[in-house]
């Protein structure tokens, strides 16, 4: 059976989604300031590895836990919703089926408690 990773286009598909995702984030003034001191090339690579892992692809993520990473950012629901919208849009333009897109978003949303208010 194919995984969500496969349905999103495998490694290459996820790389394209992540590229587009960070373009959208960096064009959004409610979000881009959080990334002012972030190395975006590294961030994209980590995000590709993280998505591959949570979408049942290869597990090569070597970054920190969601809780540790976002500690001190004091992220709120609105930040999460805005990020989730950009991810949803980046997935939708790739022609992923609504079912697979919703499944991917549900996995990301399940991390909300680990990310917000830290
Ligand atoms: C929606 C779900 C989210 C996921 C799956 C996610 C995932 C990640 C991952 C994998 C990293 C890299 C961890 C590492 O460096 O070891 C990271 C870092 C980061 N995240 Fe998130 N994140 C999410 C939400 C957010 C939100 C809502 C914000 C702010 C609006 C945010 C801001 C950041 C920043 C600024 C970094 C980089 C920190 C640095 O420069 O070291 N994240 N995130």
Nearest-atom number in ligand 1 for the CA of 35 is 35
Tell the residue nearest (CA) to atom 10 of ligand 1. 47
Concatenated DSSP letters of 22-77: HHHHHT-TTTGGGGTT--HHHHHHHHHHHHHHHTTS-----S--HHHHHTTS---H
pLDDT on residue 7: 98
Residue-wise pLDDT tens digits, 11-66: 999 999 999 999 999 999 999 999 999 999 999 999 999 999 999 999 999 999 99
- Taking the whole predicted model, whether its pTM rises above 0.75 is answered as yes
Q: Which domains does the chain have, with CATH numbers?
A: 4-115 (1.10.490.10)
Residue-wise pLDDT tens digits, 61-97: 999 999 999 999 999 999 999 999 999 999 999 999 9
């Amino acid at each position: 059976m194919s995984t969500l990773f496969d349905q999103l286009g495998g490694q290459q598909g996820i790389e394209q989604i992540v590229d587009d995702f960070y373009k959208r984030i960096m064009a959004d003034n409610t979000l881009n300031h959080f990334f002012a001191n972030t190395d975006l090339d590294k961030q994209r690579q980590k995000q590709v590895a993280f998505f591959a892992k949570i979408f049942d692809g290869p597990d090569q993520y070597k970054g920190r836990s969601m809780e540790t990473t976002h500690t001190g950012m004091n992220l709120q629901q609105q930040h999460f919703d805005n990020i989730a919208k950009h991810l949803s849009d980046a997935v939708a333009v790739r022609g992923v089926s609504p079912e697979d897109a919703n499944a991917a978003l549900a996995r990301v949303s399940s991390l909300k408690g680990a990310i917000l208010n830290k």
